[in-house]
Copies of this chain bind each other. A is one copy, B any other.
Amino acid sequence: MAQQERAIETRAAIIRGAASAFEARGYGSTSLAQVSAAAGVTKGALYFHFDSKEALAVAIINAQHEASAAIGRTLLAEGVPGLRALIVMSLELARQLHEDPIVSAGVRLTIEAANFDTPVAGPYLGWIEASEEYLRRGVAEGEISADIDICAMARFLVSAFTGVQVVSDMLTGRDDIEDRLIDMWAVVMPALVPGDRWLEMKDLPTRIRVERAAA
């Protein structure tokens, strides 16, 4: 079993190294030599664990997907109210994007991987579904207007988050992503919250942010 453990550690090191390499230069412009150097392993080890460069990219995407999905599962399990869950998830995802190279590499690869043999749309569909679930909860709880189109709204929220993250990356290297998400929620909230809950809810994003900063 000691063998197994070493292999697992090696595999994780490869994914970490590959993530930071891909993140830095993009998939197509990164060579496996750079990957193996960044991971501190030889190409033999790399070839043992992954069949191809593309398989490596897919593995990173999956690892990122898993890391992100874990947030959603936790929020669901804890019974967090729908609107709060959406906001928390966006902020938590942003934190991962900023701090975890695997996650940031994963989203970059998901975009660049549009033409892989193994097509990958997974993460986005997963996020959209999760958002729909939260929206439905919010409607049930009365925090969210009953007359919105849940599918369209979920899709737009994921799109908007994606765009905020891409633009923040381009302009500030994602340093300002939290501020931009607060801006985003300020725009979106009026379309979500019914009039009778507005006063109560309008500061929710800011309150959540402060809570998180305190922790």
A160: contacting residue among B28, B112, B159, B189, CB under 8 A:
B159
Q: How far is the CA of A102 from the CA of B33 in the complex (A)?
A: 32
| A7-15, A67-75, A86-94, A163-171 - interface stretch | A163-171
A180-B163 contact given A28-B29, A115-B25, A170-B124, CB 8 Å threshold: no
- Which B residue's beta carbon lies closest to that of A115? B25
Q: Binary interface profile of A, 138-175, with partner B (CB < 8 Å = 1, else 0)?
A: 00000000000100110110111111111111110000
A23 CB, min distance to chain B CBs, angstroms: 10
A172 CB, min distance to chain B CBs, angstroms: 10
Pairs across A and B, CB under 8 Å, 17 listed? A24-B115, A25-B115, A29-B112, A111-B166, A121-B170, A124-B170, A152-B186, A156-B180, A156-B183, A159-B163, A159-B166, A159-B167, A159-B184, A160-B160, A187-B188, A190-B190, A191-B191
